[in-house]
Amino acid sequence: MTVMQTDFDQIEADFWRQYLKNYSDFEGVSPHQLVINNYENIFTQSGAFDLTIDMESGRCYDSNDNTHTITEFVAGLRDESLSETKSHLNVEYTRWTEQEKARKENLLFVRDSENYRWKKRSGQDSFEEVTDFDIVLNSVIERYDIKKQQWERYYEATLRYERLDRFITKEISLDPADVHSKDDFSKAVWEKDILQVKNMRRGEMRNFWHHVHNEFNPRIVREYNHYGFIEFGEKKNKTKYFLAENVLIEFPSQKNEPLKLIDKEKGAFPVDDNKYVKPPEDAINLPRFDLGLAKNGIYKDMMNKLLDDQAFERQLDKVEDRFCKMIGGESRHSQWGKLIIGYVFSYLFFDDIYDRFNHIIFLYLYGEGNVGKGELAKLIQDFYGINHLDSLNTPTARPVDNALEQKSQIPQWIDEHVPEVPGKDAKIKDQVWNSLFELKPRPTSMQKNGTWATERKEVRTMPLFCSNFKPKTDHLLSRCLILKYTKQKRGDEEHVQWLKNNRDRLQLLMLSYMQHYSLMDRQAFIWDVERMRNKLKSEVKQELERKAGNALLQDRQISQFAVLITVRHWLEKDYRQKITNIARESRTLDNEEDETHREILQEQIDDQLKGMLDQKLYLFVKNEVVRSAIVAAHHDPLSNYIETIGTLIQAKEINQSHFNWTDDGHLKIWAKAVWDLYIKSKRGTEEIVRRETVENKLKQFSETNPDGSLKTVNWTIYYGDNEQPKETIRKKGFYIKHAYTNELFRNAFKFDTLGPSKSQVEKPETLEDDPNSIAGYEPAKDDTDINEDLPF
């Protein structure tokens, strides 16, 4: 080998890529990569990750615009003089160029890029044309085929050819079947233009494609069917990224590394050795962050703007204050602003929350129209750069299936949601949400290989509900944290406008906190959540025993509130560090066998925990949980229903065609007609009770058939002084004996004015002996000082 004199300013990028792989830090350099960003700067003492290595220009740049040659960089790597490194590189470059020359001389198929042809070697120095076009293989696309339940590969290529003295390029896609034979390949390119494949024998096509593949070493692009948080890599060594429309976010693997904001390279984001990722081809309204312009493949200016811990907390306080005032003004209700902040960042702890509780968080915003629920939902989206058009409006179940699969750990806004309410058609039954709450896919039908089969889509995120109606069934009531948004409680419009005008600040907070995403002690986080949950549950239970012994705890809601409180605290560096240390001490405490020493250590831990909690936020949540439990315990659907009927009787919308008092004080009610009029009056409100609830209660006091169904009731309506028969009612209904003895029925059905007038009805002496009597039934009275609606 004759060593040539190298012009170091003319060394090809291909050589630098190959050569740098000799060093462990550069083993992952892609075959097409031209720039290496954020490498540790060996020219400074700071050890900052700010060095950019440009292999095409042969130079290195740092954040202070200092410039060095790659040759100087290699000298630093080798810890030797520049002259020694140049001698070493002379030998390496000479060897590389000779190897490249020998490799090309032995190829069966060669590319004639100047004449837009591919040729086949027919002799030592002779070639024959196999295509009258040039084909450049750009990418191998990996796409998941849900019908086959496997990853499929496709090719993206560029055709280059001359036509009437014009140079033409066309982008094409090829299936693997298109390159299996000459005929298939000919057909695929002929459809793009009148292009020919020739001089190729049967069986040579696969050999030809093998040469094309080796010539371009195409990048491998994995097209995900979801975006947001994705995982890439082998099963045992998967790495998490955040995938958006215009950026791939790579989280630091060690403390001093920066968060990397990676730009697209020809439509895909680089992640590994010649490996790339991209969002779904058919996705619309992808998250998009405002990052400015990218330089050398990264958004370096934005990376330099990311907030340190102190700046983050200052900005967070400003944003949180606006949320508090926007939602609750100066009232205690303003603490919901802190919970909303906790909810926004809880998506980063999505896996941890589910792994601990086997369910996620359902946040349900409800209230009358035009009170600001939608604006709040949009602001939550703003943290993730989500387009405000990206919402599902009163959707059916299928679009929800698709959306919850396509989004991964980012908010999915379910707008104008109509829960399952008696008298209203619900497009999605409340029970459907049960499985989604636990990330269990809903089984649906799909066509697979010409037949119908069951399909289960992944559930990768949490829905954010907006509605004019409060849920009425336990399916949602027991699973949702419900924020009632009202004009009376919310603050001035200026707070909404300020937040809308500071969308970039919300994004900056999210990006800055993502710096800590992969570095946090997740065990400590879950320990803290469980500690918060136990504390909240214990104190609420004690309060309920004192105020309302019949109230029931809602474990799911306590767990969700505990998560939001904990996440909010974990946004603060000091809290995060202290609680991580305490959690580790607590874990060692579990192994302590000496009971006395154990108690001493526990006291020390308890002392450390004092003063760390936001008492105002915690007490607000505690009071809300207590209040809701008491209201739920005293909530009496039958009383609400009967009182509404009384209002309709007063308005003469329900009359004696619908009910009748007998001479001995029994009450007959035409069940369906009265229910229909009730529904008509309540339509458009969130106050409707469940039909089966009130009917089952009324059946307990009514005569029924042996099978439990309603009997037929009948009565005759008279009119005029001669009491002439007007109409005879004969319908399925309730027959409630001695109804006049209960004040609820007596008042609602106007016994004193519409009851029997011929004789004075007297109360039976022993109503307890009458199994159908309701004299002992009294509607629940709320003796607490709670005047607001049930909050969740």
Task: Give the integer Cα–Cα distance in Å for 619 and 633.
Answer: 21
Average pLDDT over residues 392-402: 94
pLDDT, position 282: 87
User: Does position 432 have pLDDT exceeding 60, yes or no?
Assistant: yes
| Confidence tier at 684 by pLDDT (50, 70, 90) | low
- Could you tell me which residue, 732 or 708, shows the higher pLDDT? 732
The alpha carbon dihedral of 219, 220, 223, 229 has a sign of negative
Helices (H), 38-81: 70-78
Residue identified by tokens 């926007």 is 326
What is the DSSP code (8-state) at residue 690? P
Confidence at residue 549, expressed as pLDDT on a 0 to 100 scale:
65
Across the strands, what pairs with 168? Answer: 161
Average pLDDT over the chain, rounded to whole? 87
Torsion, Cα 458 460 462 464, to 10 degrees, reads -80
| Helical (H) or strand (E) element with 545 | helix 522-547
By CB atoms closer than 10 A (0-12, 13-18, 19+), residue 505 is middle
Confidence category of residue 772, pLDDT binned at 50, 70, 90: very low
pLDDT the model gives residue 792: 32
Query: In 3D, which of 697, 686, 693, 691 has the Cα closest to residue 789?
Result: 686
Handedness of CA 370, 371, 373, 375 (dihedral sign): positive
Query: Whole-angstrom Cα distance, residue 520 to residue 518?
Result: 6
Cβ-based neighbour number of residue 782 at 10 Å: 14
* Distance (Å, whole) CA 487 – CA 320: 20
Q: Say how far apart CA 332 and CA 523 lie, in whole Å.
A: 33
Q: pLDDT at position 720, please?
A: 63
Question: Residue 445 in contact with residue 454, Cβ under 8 Å?
Answer: yes
Q: According to the model, what pLDDT value does residue 453 have?
A: 67
Asked if 563 and 592 count as a contact pair (C-beta separation under 8 A), the reply is no
Mean pLDDT of 106-128: 87
State the Cα–Cα distance between residues 157 and 704, nearest whole angstrom. Answer: 76
Cβ atoms < 10 Å from Cβ of 735: 20
Which of the residue ranges 37-51, 383-397, 752-766 has the most confident prediction, judged by mean pLDDT?
383-397
Predicted confidence (pLDDT) per residue in 302-338, tens digit: 999 999 999 999 999 999 999 999 999 989 999 999 9
Distance separating alpha carbons of residues 358 and 439, to the nearest angstrom: 8
- pLDDT at position 776 is 36
Instruction: Choose the weakest-confidence range: 209-213, 407-411, 564-568.
Output: 209-213
Task: Among 80-94, 117-131, 287-301, name the one with the lowest average pLDDT.
Answer: 117-131
Question: CA-CA distance, 482 to 320, in Å (whole number)?
Answer: 19
CA gap 337, 372 in Å, rounded: 14
Residue 664, number of CB atoms within 10 A of its CB:
13
Tally Cβ neighbours within 10 Å of residue 219. 23
* C-alpha atoms less than 13 angstroms from C-alpha of 413 in its C-beta half-sphere: 23
Least Cα distance to 667 among 729, 739, 759 occurs for 739
At residue 723 the predicted structure's pLDDT band, cuts being 50, 70 and 90, is low
Q: By mean pLDDT, which of 98-112, 396-410, 633-647 is the weakest?
A: 633-647
What CA–CA distances, in Å, run from 446 to 150, 349, 433, 438, 456?
Answer: 16, 33, 21, 23, 9
Residue 771 pLDDT grade (very low, low, confident, very high; cuts 50, 70, 90): very low
Provide the β-strand partners of residue 153: 142
Read off the pLDDT band of 690 (50, 70, 90). Answer: confident
Task: Please state, in angstroms and rounded to a whole number, the distance separating the CA atoms of residues 519 and 610.
Answer: 26
Identify the bridge partners of residue 136 per DSSP, sorted by sequence position: 158
pLDDT tens digits for range 260-288: 999 999 899 999 888 999 999 889 899 99
pLDDT tens digits for range 492-501: 999 999 999 9
What is the H or E stretch that residue 609 is in? helix 595-609
Sign of CA dihedral 124, 126, 132, 133: positive
Q: Which two tokens stand for residue 641?
A: 């229903």
Grade residue 9 by pLDDT with cuts at 50, 70 and 90.
Answer: confident
Residue-level pLDDT at 203: 83
Residue 438 tokens read as 């636990």
146 and 156 in contact (C-beta within 8 Å)? no
Averaged over 552-570, what is the pLDDT?
93
Q: Is the pLDDT reported for residue 217 higher than 70?
A: yes
| pLDDT attached to residue 782 | 36
Give 767's Cβ-side CA count (13 Å radius): 19
Task: Identify the pLDDT of residue 635.
Answer: 63
pLDDT given at position 201:
86
Q: Residue 4: which pLDDT band, with cuts at 50, 70 and 90?
A: low
Q: Which two tokens stand for residue 740?
A: 């006049």
Residue 788 has pLDDT above 60, yes or no: no
pLDDT for 697: 83
Distance CA(71)–CA(59), nearest Å, equals 8
| C-beta separation of 42 from 73 below 8 A | yes
46: pLDDT strictly greater than 50: yes
Q: Is the pLDDT of residue 20 over 90?
A: yes
Query: Distance between CA 473 and CA 468 in Å, rounded?
Result: 15
pLDDT at position 234? 80
CB 700 within 8 A of CB 742: no
Of 63 and 73, which is predicted with more confidence?
73
Residue 386 sits at φ, ψ, to 5 deg, of -85, 135
pLDDT band for position 764 (cuts 50, 70, 90): very low
Q: Which of 374, 380, 453, 379 is nearest to 416 (CA)?
A: 374
> What pLDDT, on a 0 to 100 scale, did the predictor assign at position 138?
93
Assigned token pair, 648: 């309709």
Distances (CA, A) of 771 to 230, 668, 694, 752: 63, 17, 19, 25
The proportion of the chain whose per-residue pLDDT surpasses 70, expressed as a percent, equals 90
Q: Is the pLDDT of residue 752 over 90?
A: no
Give the pLDDT band (50/70/90) at residue 768.
very low
Question: Which whole-number Å values give the CA distances from 135 to 128, 169, 220, 645, in the listed order?
Answer: 16, 10, 18, 79
Q: Which amino acid does the sequence have at 232?
A: F
Block residue for tokens 């600040």: 505
Rg (CA), the chain: 36
- Number of neighbouring beta carbons within 10 Å of residue 230: 21
- Distance from C-alpha of 454 to C-alpha of 539, rounded to nearest angstrom: 46
Task: Note the pLDDT of residue 633.
Answer: 66
Our CA angle for 657, 662, 665, nearest 5°, is 125
8 A C-beta contact, residue 137 and residue 157: yes
DSSP at 271:
E
- pLDDT category of residue 773 using cuts at 50, 70 and 90: very low
Least confidently predicted of 115-129, 392-406, 408-422, 579-593: 579-593
The count of other CB atoms within 10 Å of the CB of residue 631 is 19
Distance CA 402, CA 419 (A): 20
CA distance 437 to 677: 35
pLDDT on residue 202: 81
- Per DSSP, 621 falls in state H
Sheet strand arrangement including 480-484: 391-393, 412-415, 463-467, 362-366, 480-484
Residue 67 has pLDDT above 90, yes or no: yes
pLDDT at 250: 96
**What Å distances lie between residue 96 and 9, 74, 642, CA to CA?**
17, 17, 91
Q: What percent of the chain has pLDDT over 90?
A: 56
In angstroms, rounded to a whole number, what is the distance separating the alpha carbons of residues 684 and 693? 20
Burial 306-342 (b: 16+ CB within 10 A, else e): bbebeebbebbeebbebbbbbbbeeeebbbbbbbbbb
**Residue range 658-680: average pLDDT?**
92
Band of pLDDT at residue 708, cut at 50, 70 and 90:
confident
Q: Give the residue among 484, 542, 581, 501 at the shortest CA–CA distance from 791.
A: 484
The whole-angstrom separation of Cα 719 and Cα 452 is 64
Residue 779 above 60 pLDDT?
no
Strands (E), 273-376: 275-278, 362-366
Among 503-517, 616-630, 721-735, name the most confident range: 503-517
- Between CA 642 and CA 591 the distance in angstroms is 60
